């Protein structure tokens, strides 16, 4: 089911998305010779999450369509093309989650066993077997998304523009993932903010916000200048979203998937380190190195460091950067190339996201910082 916290569409549309995801998953993943594996993969997809990417694709399509078409869509069934476009984004997202959990060594996802852990049950709960099959399951989800997208029956230019977008987003998402892994194995002194912001742009903003929103706009037939405004809006919002996610992680008790435990390099950490004197930088680097080599004691060491970082007000510079990005998104939402109704809806969407995700979490983060003041 879709989370109540991120509900952009009416129940009627959400139900249509879920039905299409189930139908296409069964068609493409229920294959002879891998029936039990396919069943477990389909179950994983059906458990779902917030369905934010399908929602954003459909939401943008509905609000970008001409007035008459928009009215028709609002009161009836969604076109098959937008449902398949949305379904592809969810399967693409599932592929990334499956591989992410294997890379991170995470055993759970959404409060349930990670897919590679579930797949291990097909061979006496062998972790190695589960990881191997999990990699293949992720590949199958990726190719299923691509097959759905390639089967779209559209006017040639629309189809070509969509394929270019989807291919670009798939590629840069991989680049962002590679930057993330490479940066986590570099000394902190060799990781710069520009590289991390590029990771946020590629790994989060492009595939979570720009890809789905821009694909919906292309399918609705928006002009090139309007598409550029949506791209600018989505990329700024996506980077702000990832920065806020870093702060949320830092504000929660350490666990096996925490950024500090995983050795992830974040803009917040880099900005904090750059403000420190030489000796303090060395101490921070040493503490991070100890966490990386602490094994079962890593969580405890990370928790002590996390509390110390909060006491040093590490979140404030990131708050400032988030505000700048949200201002950029707000400006893009008012671009005159956009239809007036879409400008209104984008501004309203941004306002609601700021209120629910950014301001709500921001107040929580600030309260945590204040509690550590001397």
Give the pLDDT mean for 329-333. 98
pLDDT on residue 83: 98
Domain boundary among 138, 153, 168: 153
- pLDDT of residue 373 exceeding 70: no
Buried/exposed 361-372: b ≥16 CB within 10 Å, e otherwise: ebeebbebbeee
Task: Phi first, then psi: give them for residue 277, nearest 5 degrees.
Answer: -70, 165
Q: Are strands 108-109 and 112-113 parallel, antiparallel or unpaired?
A: antiparallel
Closest CA to 62 of 14, 6, 96, 125: 14
pLDDT on residue 234: 98
CATH code of 34's domain: 1.10.600.10
pLDDT on residue 3: 40
- Of all residues in the chain, the percent with pLDDT exceeding 90 is 82
Domain boundary among 153, 168, 196: 153
Same domain, residue pair 286 and 261: yes
Same domain, residue pair 28 and 53: yes
pLDDT on residue 5: 57
- pLDDT of residue 357 exceeding 60: yes
User: Mean pLDDT across the chain, nearest whole number?
Assistant: 91
Q: What is the DSSP string of 107-121?
A: -EETTEE-HHHHHGG
Same domain, residue pair 264 and 362: yes
- pLDDT of residue 69 exceeding 60: no
Q: What are the distances in angstroms from CA 76 to CA 67, 71, 220? A: 14, 9, 16
> Predicted confidence band at 71 (pLDDT cuts at 50, 70, 90)?
low
Domain boundary among 136, 153, 170: 153
pLDDT tens by residue, 182-211:
998 888 889 999 999 999 999 999 999 999
Spatial separation of the C-alpha atoms in residues 328 and 333, rounded to whole Å = 9
Q: What is the CA radius of gyration of the chain?
A: 21
> Predicted confidence band at 365 (pLDDT cuts at 50, 70, 90)?
low
Spatial separation of the C-alpha atoms in residues 186 and 120, rounded to whole Å = 32
Same domain, residue pair 204 and 219: yes
- Structural domain range at position 339: 155-374
- pLDDT of residue 283 exceeding 90: yes
> Predicted confidence band at 73 (pLDDT cuts at 50, 70, 90)?
low
Same domain, residue pair 139 and 177: no
- pLDDT of residue 367 exceeding 70: no
Give the pLDDT mean for 296-311. 95
pLDDT on residue 187: 86
Please name the residue that has the structure tokens 């790994």: 203
Same domain, residue pair 228 and 96: no
Same domain, residue pair 109 and 123: yes
Same domain, residue pair 123 and 179: no
Give the pLDDT mean for 72-101. 90
Find the length of the chain.
374
Same domain, residue pair 135 and 232: no
Q: How many domains does the chain have?
A: 2
- pLDDT of residue 372 exceeding 50: no
Same domain, residue pair 142 and 235: no
Same domain, residue pair 166 and 145: no
- pLDDT of residue 217 exceeding 70: yes
Same domain, residue pair 89 and 167: no
Closest CA to 358 of 332, 320, 331: 320
Give the pLDDT mean for 134-149. 97
């Amino acid at each position: 089911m879709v989370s109540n916290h991120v509900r952009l569409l009416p129940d009627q549309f959400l139900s249509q998305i879920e039905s299409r995801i189930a139908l296409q998953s069964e068609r493409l993943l229920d294959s002879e010779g891998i029936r039990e594996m396919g069943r477990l993969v389909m179950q994983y997809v059906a458990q779902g999450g917030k369905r934010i990417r399908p929602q954003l694709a459909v939401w943008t399509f509905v609000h970008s369509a001409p007035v008459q078409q928009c009215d028709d869509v609002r009161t009836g069934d969604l076109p098959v093309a937008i449902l398949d476009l949305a379904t592809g984004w969810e399967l693409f997202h599932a592929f990334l989650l499956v591989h992410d959990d294997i890379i991170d060594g995470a055993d759970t996802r959404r409060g349930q066993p990670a897919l590679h852990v579930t797949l291990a049950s097909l061979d006496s709960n062998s972790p190695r077997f589960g990881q191997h099959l999990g990699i293949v399951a992720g590949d199958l989800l990726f190719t299923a998304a691509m097959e759905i997208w390639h089967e779209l029956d559209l006017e040639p230019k629309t189809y070509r523009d969509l394929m270019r977008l989807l291919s670009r987003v798939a590629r840069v998402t991989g680049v962002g993932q590679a930057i993330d892994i490479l940066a986590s194995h570099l000394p902190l002194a060799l990781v710069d903010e520009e590289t991390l912001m590029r990771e946020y742009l590629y790994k989060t903003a492009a595939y979570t916000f720009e890809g789905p929103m821009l694909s919906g706009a292309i399918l609705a037939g928006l002009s090139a200048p309007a598409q550029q405004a949506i791209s600018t809006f989505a990329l700024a919002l996506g980077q702000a979203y990832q920065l806020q996610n870093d702060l949320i992680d830092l504000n929660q008790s350490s666990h096996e998937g925490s950024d500090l435990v995983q050795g992830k390099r974040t803009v917040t950490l880099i900005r904090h380190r750059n403000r420190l004197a030489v000796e303090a930088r060395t101490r921070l680097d040493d503490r991070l190195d100890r966490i990386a080599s602490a094994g079962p004691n890593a969580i405890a060491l990370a928790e002590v460091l996390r509390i110390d970082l909060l006491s040093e007000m590490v979140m404030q510079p990131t708050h400032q950067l988030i505000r700048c990005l949200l201002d950029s998104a707000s400006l893009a939402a008012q671009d005159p190339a956009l239809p007036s109704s879409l400008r209104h809806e984008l501004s309203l969407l941004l306002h609601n996201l700021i209120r629910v995700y950014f301001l709500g979490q921001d107040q929580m983060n600030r309260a945590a910082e204040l509690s550590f003041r001397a």
